[in-house]
A and B are shown apart, each in its own frame.
Chain A
């Protein structure tokens, strides 16, 4: 059975293996043992609540309990941009108008902004190809919303997710090629690499500081602003269903959209509930819609998908499920339907 749980120190090898499978395009999960060990260390301290909330980085792993294999990872960073500036382009509007000439031009502009500073960020989602089936992908992504719903006091009011922007099949980015490249004289992968090494702010130092009129860009670059990579389309859909939306912030390199939401507006925060657990050996008849079920411990956070819906403020779990959740027999769990009704 598959369970998502808070990462532990012993997961370094499993995480390192996953990182080697990621390939290019994911800036926050590079196969670098030192970096990953540091990240796990911060994550363990985060779940242990021994560091201040704004420094926390909650890392979740998907474990296959049958073989102990780490099959996926996802994360929530508590706050972006507090150690070094976090940059985005904000799409703004400037109107140029002359009554005398009867001309009215409404122009989209790109403003280099730090507006999202302090927001919590969903990041580092990766599921091993062997496990891309069933509910695994949804579990790995959505576990974070239920975590936030259980511990809302740990999060700032806003949550964001940066999505990978449009690229051609050869990996080139029309936005980068027509904007960033002019200011860097290096290719996208190299710039993106530097950004993953925590040098994004240095790169932003090289970007144009003044607002840019979108109309200056060639059509092919204009058209991909706020457009996700084809492979990221399902992820975007999933996040939007959870209550996140695009509000005109894009990545400064590839113009991929930043989705955002107020924590209180997240579906999991609005619709999840705490229910009583009862454990039964006999399979319950009339299994219903898949449900995310999470325990209420931050130190030992665990979450699974169960096809047994909760009813009247209670849920029946199998022994295996209860043990996967490490939830006491009469304890409480937080539940929310996996899918939107």
Chain B
């Protein structure tokens, strides 16, 4: 069984091993042992914090195979993208140019450096081992973060975004960076990424990046074509989150032009369809072999500590209906009859 849970101190070693599979410029997860340790400690503090406004908290989750306790992946959600500094992105703007006298009017696509996403909650650091990419557990890991937010709305903003790696070639060259960032940073894309540790909330960004709108028609064709294009390694999270209700229309990354998906929580499947139900009596053990059609759910206990997410095959659940769990599932979630759990149809 796959289970998503908050990271613990004992995960530092396996996470370090996991990080060896990261691709630079693509994955935003911490990669050095020291950085991993910091991220784990921050997450433990965040889960333990008593808060009802989004702040510096960053919650790190791991995906574990409960059969062999292997870590398969990790994913994080930051309560507020810009808690440690303005979060910068390019906003897709349309500048309307009108001359009534010439009877000409057309719109020009421009990119404006903006801080619009600063107060959003940010999904980041998603990574799963090869072989699990296209499988349901990848989706479980990615969406578990949103289920946590749905259970603890006070800890997060009303809007969420995720920035996905943009198109780069086999050598890590980004056409968008070549046409734009390089002119201001005077260095290679990967070098810049490593200098800022993949962050977009650094002061040096506002020092170096253009303050005036970038007129898209002035960028070369290759750079224009790569705007909003997702890196092949980020194709899976792109699919998962698009299906969840995220849209990639308004913002792109300032470095590689990769898509930034964003949504209000009311547009997200997990928030819209989450049902708060109670665990049914253990006597009525589920009977998966019954004639009723089974539906997959993502479920989690609603409580401050020991957050857990698993998937569940169940008959269709309606308001007020008890959720029937197997003994193994009860153990995995550490719940008993009568406990409140959040259920989201897959």
Asked if A pairs with B, the answer is yes
CA distance in complex: A103, B212 (Å): 19
Q: Report the stretch among A138-146, A179-187, A254-262 that lies at the interface.
A: A179-187
Interface check A98, CB cutoff 8 A: yes
Inter-chain contact B213/A105, CB cutoff 8 Å = no
Complex interface: chain A residues within 8 A of B179 (CB): 216
CA distance in complex: A107, B214 (Å): 14
Interface size on A, residues (CB 8 A): 31
Interface check B13, CB cutoff 8 A: no
Q: Report the stretch among B61-69, B72-80, B183-191 that lies at the interface.
A: B183-191
Inter-chain contact A103/B185, CB cutoff 8 Å = yes
Inter-chain contact A216/B218, CB cutoff 8 Å = yes
Complex interface: chain A residues within 8 A of B207 (CB): 96-98
Inter-chain contact A105/B204, CB cutoff 8 Å = no
Q: Which listed residue, A100, A206, A213, touches B104 by the CB 8 Å rule? A: A206
CA distance in complex: A216, B216 (Å): 10
Interfacial residues, chain A to chain B (CB-CB below 8 A): 96-98, 100-101, 103, 105, 107, 178-179, 182-185, 194, 199, 202-203, 205-213, 215-218
Q: A100: nearest residue on chain B (CB-CB)?
A: B204
Q: Which listed residue, B98, B108, B186, B212, touches A205 by the CB 8 Å rule? A: B98
Complex interface: chain B residues within 8 A of A183 (CB): 97, 106, 108, 217
Inter-chain contact B212/A211, CB cutoff 8 Å = yes
Q: Which positions 190-244 of chain B face chain A at CB distance < 8 Å? A: 195, 203-204, 207-210, 212-215, 217-220
- Nearest 4 A-B pairs (CB), nearest first? A182-B217, A98-B204, A210-B212, A215-B183
Complex interface: chain B residues within 8 A of A179 (CB): 218
Interfacial residues, chain B to chain A (CB-CB below 8 A): 95, 97-99, 101-102, 104, 106, 108, 110, 179, 183-187, 195, 203-204, 207-210, 212-215, 217-220
Inter-chain contact A185/B106, CB cutoff 8 Å = yes
Q: A184: nearest residue on chain B (CB-CB)?
A: B104
A113 to chain B, nearest CB (A): 14
Q: B218: nearest residue on chain A (CB-CB)?
A: A216
Inter-chain contact A208/B208, CB cutoff 8 Å = no
B75 to chain A, nearest CB (A): 30
CA distance in complex: A178, B217 (Å): 9
* 10 extra A-B contacts, CB within 8 A, seeds A205-B99, A211-B212: A96-B207, A96-B210, A183-B97, A202-B101, A206-B106, A209-B95, A210-B212, A213-B212, A216-B183, A217-B218
CA distance in complex: A185, B97 (Å): 12
Given contact pairs A98-B207, A205-B99, A103 touches B213 in the complex (Cβ within 8 A): no
Complex interface: chain B residues within 8 A of A105 (CB): 183-186, 208
Q: B204: nearest residue on chain A (CB-CB)?
A: A98
Inter-chain contact B204/A206, CB cutoff 8 Å = no
B267 to chain A, nearest CB (A): 32
Inter-chain contact A208/B215, CB cutoff 8 Å = yes
Supply 5 A–B pairs (Cβ within 8 Å), ascending by A: A107-B184, A184-B104, A199-B101, A211-B212, A216-B214
A29 to chain B, nearest CB (A): 22
Q: A181: nearest residue on chain B (CB-CB)?
A: B217
Inter-chain contact B208/A96, CB cutoff 8 Å = yes
CA distance in complex: A203, B195 (Å): 44
Complex interface: chain A residues within 8 A of B203 (CB): 100
CA distance in complex: A213, B210 (Å): 9
Complex interface: chain A residues within 8 A of B218 (CB): 178-179, 182, 212, 216-217
